[in-house]
């Protein structure tokens, strides 16, 4: 019988054998963010379409081509979130978090949706780790944001990452820059793609982000924003560089970074990896001091970044990263007979309530098949319970690695035995790691 349907193109399932890798990345990122003072938030998967039109920008590819927008049953225009920053800012303003002591620091793991051609590391449903910092105007905050992004990648042991930074100025200096861009691109108008010809009058900076090879070649020789920065923006940019230098964070000045969303101002940055055969942006972010006002809120400096988890996972695998072993079953109860099965069920429940991972047979296997199953799920220990064990109240705890047998009581002391065994295993593992580290370091 054929399946009724399969996963929609541009989406992917995460299988049990892979989910622990995602959990490891997400939990590591949140933990590093907590060390920098960030607290987790969660926003709805869909918002009013106006939120993204106003914040992301009417002239961006995201709004013009990529958003999943529909009318709900009440006739309201709704959009699946294409990125995380707009929803986070809406949360901040709606719930009055901007009235708290500044800075307000939030972090999230989230899913996003964009209708674009699916390819490796770029799906229509994709996932991001993001952070947002509100109320910090100092260039030190920019440097700290970059340091946080790099700390996440370091905690995940990502290698070969380079930092690229730029400043795209403020509305004042960008007005002069727009004039220069319009003059330059007007000379090449007939060669530009149709989309960029439309951008020429409305927002010429969007042409710099066009993926068309022809437009990219023309844009490579366009005027650069750093030649048009006002004194305040130039001073801010120089200060960001000084903080990075003081912290010994290497960086490359890249005047061609503009980012793909209209809300950015001043500092923009990307963390780039070449592990996939070509340069891949793992993380992008920057400052967006005017976004709160654009959304009807007060003047509020803000900055943040987003890190694509699919691409990050691809890079980790390409580099042969060692993920922590997925959790396994601590103890498997193999039963012989109905009475023993009921006893095993009760024992497993007792251990689970104490935080021990325990399983027992629920499909009616014979003893031999149960032991094969215990081996397949990598159970650390097994306990066989039959009539003799029920009568004596004792059974053998078998270490599935060594084959060692330990006689134990089938009562609440079983939890203590397994807890102590777990401590012994952890101590042995730590001793092994220390020994290997000492050997590596001579």
Please state, in angstroms and as integers, the Cα–Cα distance from residue 187 to each residue in 179, 192, 200, 207, following that order.
13, 10, 11, 14
What is the crossing angle of helices 171-186 and 194-202, to 10°? 140
Residue 278: the pLDDT is 64
Residue 333: the pLDDT is 96
Tens-digit pLDDT profile for residues 151-173: 999 999 999 999 999 999 998 88
Residue 55: the pLDDT is 80
Structure tokens at 247: 């912290």
Contact in structure between 114 and 66 (CB atoms under 8 Å): yes
Query: What value does the CA radius of gyration of the chain take, rounded to a whole number of Å?
Result: 28
Structure tokens at 153: 């990648």
Dist. CA 141–CA 103, nearest whole Å: 10
Q: So where are the chain's domains?
A: 18-170+230-318, 331-427
Run of H or E residues at 335: strand 331-335
Residue 433: the pLDDT is 46
Q: Is 411 helix (H, G, I), strand (E, B) or coil?
A: coil
Dist. CA 373–CA 332, nearest whole Å: 9
Per the CATH hierarchy, to which homologous superfamily does domain 331-427 belong?
Anticodon-binding domain (3.40.50.800)
Residue 135: the pLDDT is 96
Residue 218: the pLDDT is 87
Dist. CA 273–CA 164, nearest whole Å: 11
Contact in structure between 357 and 329 (CB atoms under 8 Å): yes
Residue 438: the pLDDT is 47
Query: For 337, left (φ over 0), alpha (ψ -120 to 50), or beta?
Result: left
Dist. CA 238–CA 75, nearest whole Å: 49
Domain at 18-170+230-318, CATH class:
alpha beta
Q: Report CA dihedral (15, 19, 25, 31) to the nearest 10 degrees.
A: 150
Question: What share of residues in the chain are helix, strand, coil (percent, to 5)?
Answer: 45, 20, 35
Contact in structure between 228 and 169 (CB atoms under 8 Å): yes
Dist. CA 31–CA 85, nearest whole Å: 20
Residue 243: the pLDDT is 97
Length of the chain: 442
114, 127, 128: which is closest to 10 by C-alpha? 114
Dist. CA 323–CA 78, nearest whole Å: 38
The label of the residue with tokens 């929803």 reads: 87
18, 28, 67: which is closest to 310 by C-alpha? 18
Report residue 251 CA to chain centroid gap: 23
Please give the chain's pLDDT, 442 residues, in tens.
Answer: 788 889 889 999 999 889 999 999 999 999 999 999 999 999 999 999 999 988 887 667 777 778 999 999 999 999 999 999 999 999 999 999 999 999 999 999 999 999 988 777 779 999 999 999 999 999 999 999 999 999 999 999 999 999 999 999 998 888 888 888 888 888 888 888 888 888 888 788 878 878 788 888 888 888 888 999 999 999 999 999 999 999 999 999 998 887 666 778 899 999 999 877 666 889 999 999 999 999 999 999 999 999 999 999 999 998 888 888 888 899 999 999 999 999 999 999 988 888 888 999 999 999 999 999 999 999 999 999 999 999 999 999 999 989 999 888 887 677 777 766 665 665 555 455 445 544 555 5
- Its pTM stands at 0.86
Q: Report CA dihedral (108, 259, 25, 245) to the nearest 10 degrees.
A: -100
- E-strand stretches of 348-428: 358-360, 381-385, 394-399, 405-409
Run of H or E residues at 294: helix 291-294
DSSP character at residue 323: P
């Amino acid at each position: 019988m054929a399946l009724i349907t399969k996963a929609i193109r541009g989406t992917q399932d995460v299988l049990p054998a892979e989910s622990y890798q995602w959990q490891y990345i997400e939990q590591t990122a949140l933990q590093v963010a907590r060390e920098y003072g960030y607290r987790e938030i969660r926003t709805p998967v869909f918002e009013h379409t106006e939120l993204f039109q106003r914040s992301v920008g009417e002239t961006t590819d995201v709004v013009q081509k990529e958003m999943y927008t529909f009318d709900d049953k009440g006739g309201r225009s709704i959009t699946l979130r294409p990125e995380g920053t707009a929803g986070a800012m809406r949360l901040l303003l709606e719930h009055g978090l901007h009235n708290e002591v500044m800075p307000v620091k939030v972090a999230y793991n989230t899913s996003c949706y964009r209708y674009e051609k699916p390819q490796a590391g770029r799906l229509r449903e994709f996932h991001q780790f993001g952070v947002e910092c509100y109320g910090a105007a100092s260039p030190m905050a920019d440097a700290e944001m970059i340091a946080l992004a790099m700390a996440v990648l370091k905690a995940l042991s990502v290698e070969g990452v380079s930092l690229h930074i730029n400043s795209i100025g403020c509305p004042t200096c960008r007005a002069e820059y727009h004039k220069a861009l319009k003059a330059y691109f007007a000379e090449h108008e007939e060669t530009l793609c149709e989309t960029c010809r439309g951008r020429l009058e409305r927002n010429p900076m969007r042409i710099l982000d066009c993926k068309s090879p022809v437009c990219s070649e023309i844009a490579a020789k366009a005027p650069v924003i750093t030649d048009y920065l006002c004194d305040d923006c130039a001073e801010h940019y120089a200060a960001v560089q000084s903080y990075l230098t003081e912290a010994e964070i290497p960086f490359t000045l890249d005047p061609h970074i503009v980012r793909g969303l209209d809300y950015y101002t001043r500092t923009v940055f990307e963390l780039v990896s070449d592990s996939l055969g070509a340069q891949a942006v793992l993380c992008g972010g920057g400052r967006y001091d005017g976004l709160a006002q654009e959304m009807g809120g007060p003047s509020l400096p803000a900055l943040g970044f987003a890190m694509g988890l699919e691409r990050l996972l691809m890079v980790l695998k390409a580099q042969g990263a060692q993920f922590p072993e997925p959790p396994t079953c601590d103890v498997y109860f193999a039963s012989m007979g109905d009475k023993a099965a009921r006893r095993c069920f009760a024992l497993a429940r007792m251990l689970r309530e104490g935080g021990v991972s325990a399983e027992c047979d629920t499909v009616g296997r014979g003893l031999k098949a149960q032991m094969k199953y215990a081996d397949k799920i990598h159970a650390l220990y097994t306990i066989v319970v039959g009539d003799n064990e029920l009568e004596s109240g004792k059974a053998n705890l078998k270490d599935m690695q060594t084959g060692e047998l330990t006689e134990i009581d089938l009562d609440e002391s079983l939890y203590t035995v397994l807890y102590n065994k777990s401590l012994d295993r952890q101590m042995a593992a730590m001793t092994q790691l220390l020994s290997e580290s000492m050997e590596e370091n001579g």
